[in-house]
Amino acid sequence: MSNREEIRKRLQAIFQEVFDDDELEIDDATSADDVDDWDSIMHITLMVAVEKEFGMQFNAEEIGKLSGVGGLIDLIEQRAG
Amino acid sequence: MDHLQVFLDHLREHHAVFYGAVAATAEAMPGTFRRVGAPMADWAHACLGDDFARVLAEGYVHLVIEANQAQMRYEKRGSYEHRSYAEVYEAAYGNEAFMTKYHWGLYVAMFAWVHHLRLFSFYEREFLPRLGEGLTEGGREVVADLGSGSGIWSRFALDAHPGLACVGVDISPTSVDEARRMAASTGFAARSEFVLGDATAHRLVEPAHAAISSFLLEHLERPEALLDNLAANLAQGGYAWITAALTAAEIDHITEFRRESEIVRLVEDAGLRVIATLSETPRAARSKLRFVPRSMAVVAQKRRNDIW
């Protein structure tokens, strides 16, 4: 399994928890338009959960520019690398 | 050009996640949203030039993230992060880049947050009409804006009453510069004066006919000092517009108000008679939280004696 796929799987569990939807499936193309309730408040809740899961912190500029799963995986990969 | 639409288009394109809440505000209160947002977008364009939409959008996103992260930490900790001006200066006020973003973020929040628009409607209904009571044709009255920030509340008062002039006082050089720049670029310099000073101590040469202090109380170690100074700067019978945030953690909030009555009591103790109040919550506030952030507005009048 690629590192990217591993990150996606861990993110999927976070998304399901944050958005309270066990059926929620995400991929690189998933954006805020595809997920019910993905608004600014949920975005910040999501990012706090991601920071905790991956043991990293993002600044406001990074959080503010994200709009989809692909970009989030890129960011985690960059930070981990 | 419709600068408000330019801003909204920029926000949708570059910060999609943050656009939805603003669009929902526009849909919930379309008339007020445009009445407040359209001139503010025009003024921002006049002040910042063609890059205005990016500056506003980045400031707004920065504010939303910072405020919500602070609110989450507050929910866990049970108290505000900072207790003194010195701590806040270290964390925020001393950082000019941070403060510039924060300044423009607060500017956008005035029309992007539905609870702020409700306060604005209250301002139009309960405060602005009272300013005209003593104005005569060709007369000039002064409104003091203590902690003026971008000067936006007094600016709307000047828009409503051509006979009004404002004196704004703010401790932040960034805010004073921006307020002066905006007044100059939008043709209001002759009726606006913004001075660098301490809103809890600055005295005008003569008492003002009205006073505004918007969202400053919670930033102070001694909020009663602001209201005492506001009352001292206000002519007898003059009206005041005072707003404050309750259980709303932001990086520069020091005094934690938990109940609306705490603010009413402070206003009364300063020698003012409370005429009308409004307390509003953000649309996104969730009931399971211990602390629901609120914004409160008070319209008051300087008392003539202990009773009225």
Kindly report, residue by residue over B154-172, the tens digit of the pLDDT: 999 999 999 999 999 999 8
Q: Can you give the length of chain A in residues?
A: 81
Residue type for position B23: A
Q: What does the DSSP 8-state code read for residue A68?
A: B
Chosen from A37, A39, A42 to mutate, greatest number of chain B CBs within 10 A: A39
Domain spans in chain A, listed from the N-terminal domain onward: 3-80
Chain-centroid distance of CA B276 in Å reads 18
- Would you state the pLDDT for residue A36? 84
Q: What is the mean pLDDT of residues B176-204?
A: 94
- B68 with A41: Cβ contact below 8 A: yes
Average pLDDT of the residues of chain B? 93
For residue B280, give how far its alpha carbon lies from the nearest alpha carbon of chain A (Å). 18
**Cα separations in angstroms, B297 against B34, B179, B254, B264:** 21, 22, 19, 10
Distance, in Å, from the CA atom of B197 to the CA atom of B179, rounded to the nearest integer, reads 14
Distance, in Å, from the CA atom of A63 to the CA atom of A58, rounded to the nearest integer, reads 7
Location of each CATH 3.40.50.150 domain in chain B? 114-302
Q: How many CB atoms lie within 10 A of CB A64?
A: 22
Region of B307 on the Ramachandran plot (φ > 0 left; ψ -120 to 50 alpha; else beta): alpha
pLDDT score of B250 more than 80: yes
For residue A12, give how far its alpha carbon lies from the nearest alpha carbon of chain B (Å). 18
pLDDT score of B236 more than 80: yes
Q: What is the mean pLDDT of residues B129-153?
A: 86
Partners of residue B16 in chain A, C-beta under 8 Å: 31-33, 67
Quick one: pLDDT band at residue B284, thresholds 50, 70, 90? low
Quick one: pLDDT band at residue B135, thresholds 50, 70, 90? low
Q: What is the mean pLDDT of residues B259-287?
A: 91
User: What does the pLDDT look like over B11-42, one tens digit per residue?
Assistant: 999 998 899 899 999 999 999 999 999 999 99
The minimal CB distance from B17 to the residues A48, A61, A67 is found for: A67
- A64 with B65: Cβ contact below 8 A: yes
Tokens of residue B211, six digits: 């006073």
- Would you state the pLDDT for residue B92? 86
pLDDT score of B287 more than 70: no
- Angle between the B96-112 and B30-48 helix axes, to the nearest 10 degrees? 150
Q: What are the residue ranges in chain A where pLDDT is below 50? A: none
Quick one: pLDDT band at residue B136, thresholds 50, 70, 90? low
| Residues 32-91 of chain B whose Cβ lies under 8 A from any Cβ of chain A | 58, 61-62, 64-66, 68-69, 72
Q: What is the mean pLDDT of residues B292-298?
A: 95
ipTM score assigned to the predicted complex: 0.74
Q: Which CATH class is domain B114-302?
A: alpha beta
For residue B277, give how far its alpha carbon lies from the nearest alpha carbon of chain A (Å). 28
Q: What is the mean pLDDT of residues B88-102?
A: 87
Gyration radius from chain A CA atoms? 12
The minimal CB distance from A60 to the residues B14, B66, B284 is found for: B66
Distance, in Å, from the CA atom of A44 to the CA atom of A70, rounded to the nearest integer, reads 17
Q: What is the mean pLDDT of residues B200-209?
A: 95
Distance, in Å, from the CA atom of B270 to the CA atom of B268, rounded to the nearest integer, reads 5
B95 interfaces chain A, CB cutoff of 8 Å: no
Partners of residue B68 in chain A, C-beta under 8 Å: 40-41, 44
Residue with tokens 């003091």: B144
Tokens of residue B92, six digits: 């925020």
On the 0-12 / 13-18 / 19+ scale of CB atoms within 10 A, A46 is buried
CATH match of A3-80 with 3.30.200.20: no
